[in-house]
């Protein structure tokens, strides 16, 4: 059964949705812009800082959901101008192991929430938590 969460440090969504939805295997994080983050208006218009603020908050949302950034398997990035993709990529790459980037889509969306230039959505695999009766004959737990 899915679990629907809203991060108490963010404003309630202005859309009919949740910040995070968890199922047995994945954490789904709604699209996030710098204007969704308290204080984000201070970096609006600086593509590097918008990306950095959003990525940092996504890390916190994943932690709130019991995951970490390394668990990310898919990312969708929406930019108001695809010409900024390399600048966004420079910041984005800082958050992942360079041999394990998630699957990704990057699109141009001419208008994002409240004048933001970057919106990022992600999906992460939830860490496997073995049940008491799981494991092999030697009592060792299986891989996640």
Task: Give domain status of residue 142, yes or no.
Answer: no
| Residue 138 within a domain | no
Query: What's the rounded Cα separation, in Å, for the pair 6 and 20?
Result: 6
Residue 131 has pLDDT above 80, yes or no: no
Q: Give the count of domains, the chain.
A: 1
Tell me the pLDDT band of 2, cut-offs 50, 70 and 90.
very high
| pLDDT of amino acid 128 | 78
- Asked whether residue 33 is domain-assigned, the answer is yes
Residue 54 domain boundaries: 3-125
Give the phi and the psi of residue 108 in degrees, each rounded to 5.
Answer: -95, 125
- Give tens-digit pLDDT for 93-123: 999 999 999 999 999 999 998 999 999 999 9
What is the predicted pLDDT for the residue at 58?
97
Is residue 141 included in any domain, yes or no? no
Whether 4 has a pLDDT exceeding 90, the answer reads yes
Is 140 inside any structural domain? no
CATH number for the domain that contains residue 71: 3.30.1330.40
Q: Determine how many CB atoms are found less than 10 A away from the CB of residue 23.
A: 11
């Amino acid at each position: 059964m899915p679990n629907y969460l809203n991060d108490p440090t963010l404003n309630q969504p202005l859309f009919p949705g949740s910040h995070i939805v968890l199922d047995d295997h994945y954490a789904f994080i709604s699209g996030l812009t710098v204007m969704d983050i308290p204080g984000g208006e201070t970096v609006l218009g600086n593509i590097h800082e918008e990306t950095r603020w959003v990525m940092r908050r996504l890390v916190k949302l994943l932690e709130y959901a019991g995951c970490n950034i390394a668990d990310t398997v898919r990312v969708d990035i929406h930019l108001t101008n695809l010409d900024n993709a390399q600048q966004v990529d420079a910041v984005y790459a800082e958050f992942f192991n360079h041999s394990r980037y998630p699957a990704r889509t990057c699109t141009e969306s001419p208008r994002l929430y409240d004048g933001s230039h970057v919106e990022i959505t992600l999906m992460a695999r939830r860490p496997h938590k073995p049940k008491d009766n799981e494991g092999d004959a030697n009592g060792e737990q299986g891989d996640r």
